[in-house]
Structure 1
Amino acid sequence: MLRLLATGVAGSALLPHLARAAGALEGGAVPRIDRMGLQMYTVRAALSKDIEGTIAAIAKAGITELEFFNGFGKDVTWWQALLKQHGLTAPSAHEALPKTDDAWKPIFDRAHGMGHKLVIVPFVGDDYRGSKANWQRLADRLNAGATLAKAAGLQFAYHNHDFEFTPVDGTTGYEVITAQTDKDLVKLELDLYWTVKAGQDPLAIMKRWPGRIVAVHVKDAGPAPERKMLEVGAGTIDFKTILATGRKQGLKHWFIEHDNPTDPIASITASAKALKAL
């Protein structure tokens, strides 16, 4: 939403222009992408060897937001200084689901120190899969974690792979998660590649759960049946339509990712260039 505190003749003169801009946003048009995120898993090998050099290269590639998954042995203060040096922010982090709910506190404390606004459970093991009952247990754990996150002033979400869409006991893990978690507390980070890999339509998911998807992972998928993971723009996913739809619904973040790129920085640069051209 556009906001302006306008006074006097100059402010009044701007109002028609702002009205047209606001109408364009509400009527279907969305502004060009003006920031670019990266899930740091993409550059995990490079970070393990040279954190400072890798972060500098990431910033040079046009990335402005980072999604953490590991601190690589450095504390919050160290990371804060490095990110500030390169004009980067870290609005999101992937955090493994802890064994007990009281273990969320240090995770949330670190999130505050890093400036994260969003804490995301990125993956679950076999003990939460394989049956409807197991997925229901996960939904209960997610609700509990999300309640604690809200009390800590953080937003909570779940990130999918492909296995959440595997049929089990007449349903799927994704159906259980979306139906049995609080939609206001447990948000979704939709991984566009893994969703397509599972034979699902990301756009249909966005339309089914409008406003619940607060972040997406952007990586492309080659043609069926292999659905090879590719850089944005090199495959079959309609990022322009998906991102425009998501942003109208409140999508806040889009994080470039590639699980095993041949050249991580070249991969990031190519994906960022493709996204900026949308």
Structure 2
Amino acid sequence: MAYPIAYQIYSSRNFPPLEAQLPELKGFGYDAIEPWLPAYEADDGKSFRRALEASGLRCLGFHMPLAGLVGETQRFIDIALTLGATWMIPPYVTPEERAGADAEYWKRLGAKLARGAAAAGPHGLKVAWHNHDFEFQALPDGSRPIDHILAEGGPEVWFEIDCGWIVRAGADPAAELARFTDRIGVIQTKDMAPPGTTADDGWAATGEGIIDWAALAPLFRQTAADHLVTEHDNPSNWRQFAQRSINHLRGLGL
């Protein structure tokens, strides 16, 4: 069975207005939008939900600040319910916040996610962490942030795995898909251009970079993921990225 495929609308943030993109994305074959703050900020998701429904799209999950999960938990639970989303996904800590971070820092981050997940669970919501490259870079003691985050978070904290950032970190997405099989709830199919590429910040449409998606596709099926997400951090042509990416995934039977 084919996965629902969402489009992370951060990809086309530089081509406003965002709401005008929604009918086009539906036309490309997308099932859903994964928004990031501030796309849904104006009225805590109400108008964004209306725009999605008018375009025939859903919101399965959304990116949100870690500080919001910790300090405005109920507000973001309400936003999730307004959007119709299941997945609440903090995606980042700034370089300043993680400067000199040791294993204990990442364990504390996992514990914060666990508290958010405990509050969200009774509402039918799930919390997942979204990675960049720094979670896969070894700490001085040889351990990795991602392992501390998920171990301390416990089984109620899920993982939105971003394959492109894993490759950029020098790690192997196939190995990480296998390692975290039962923790992966969402898969981002970000692709990386060949090393040394400067255009589009070194990213590529899914299927046009260096990642072997045909080899990874069977591993996707072994995870607990319930949908896929396309993302590109800085495409010069968002329409080309969006259409080519979903076409490649559907061509693989995903």
> What's the TM-score once normalised by structure 2's chain length?
0.88
Q: Answer yes or no: is 1:145 the counterpart of 2:116.
A: yes
1:40 to partner: Cα distance: 1.0
Which of 61, 69, 73 pairs up with 2:42?
73
Q: How does 1:100-179 map to 2 (within 5 A)?
A: 101-125=70-94, 126-128=96-98, 130-170=101-141, 171-179=143-151
Alpha carbon RMSD of aligned pairs, Å? 2.0
Inter-partner Cα distance in structure 2 for 1:187 and 1:262: 32
Alignment length (residue pairs): 244
Identity of aligned residues (%): 27
Which of 152, 157, 160 pairs up with 1:180?
152
Inter-partner Cα distance in structure 1 for 2:22 and 2:157: 30
User: Which residue identity is paired with 2:159?
Assistant: L
1:50 to partner: Cα distance: 2.0
The alignment partner of 1:124 has SS state of coil
The 1:99–1:110 alpha-carbon spacing in structure 2 relative to 1, beyond 3 Å, is closer
> Given that residues 190 and 205 in structure 2 are in contact (C-alpha distance below 8 angstroms), is that contact kept between their aligned partners in structure 1?
yes
Q: How does 1:48-67 map to 2 (within 5 A)?
A: 49-67=16-34
The alignment partner of 1:190 has SS state of strand
Name the stretch that deviates more: 217-226 or 86-95.
Answer: 217-226
1:207 to partner: Cα distance: 1.3
> Given that residues 106 and 145 in structure 2 are in contact (C-alpha distance below 8 angstroms), is that contact kept between their aligned partners in structure 1?
yes
The 1:127–1:34 alpha-carbon spacing in structure 2 relative to 1, beyond 3 Å, is closer
Inter-partner Cα distance in structure 2 for 1:164 and 1:188: 12
Bigger Rg, structure 1 or 2: 1
> What's the TM-score once normalised by structure 1's chain length?
0.81
1:94 to partner: Cα distance: 0.6
1:74 to partner: Cα distance: 5.0
User: Which residue identity is paired with 2:205?
Assistant: E
Inter-partner Cα distance in structure 1 for 2:112 and 2:150: 13
The 1:136–1:52 alpha-carbon spacing in structure 2 relative to 1, beyond 3 Å, is closer
Unmatched tracts of structure 2, length 5 or more: none
Q: Answer yes or no: is 1:38 the counterpart of 2:38.
A: no
Inter-partner Cα distance in structure 1 for 2:160 and 2:140: 25
> Given that residues 90 and 116 in structure 1 are in contact (C-alpha distance below 8 angstroms), is that contact kept between their aligned partners in structure 2?
yes
User: Which residue identity is paired with 2:147?
Assistant: E
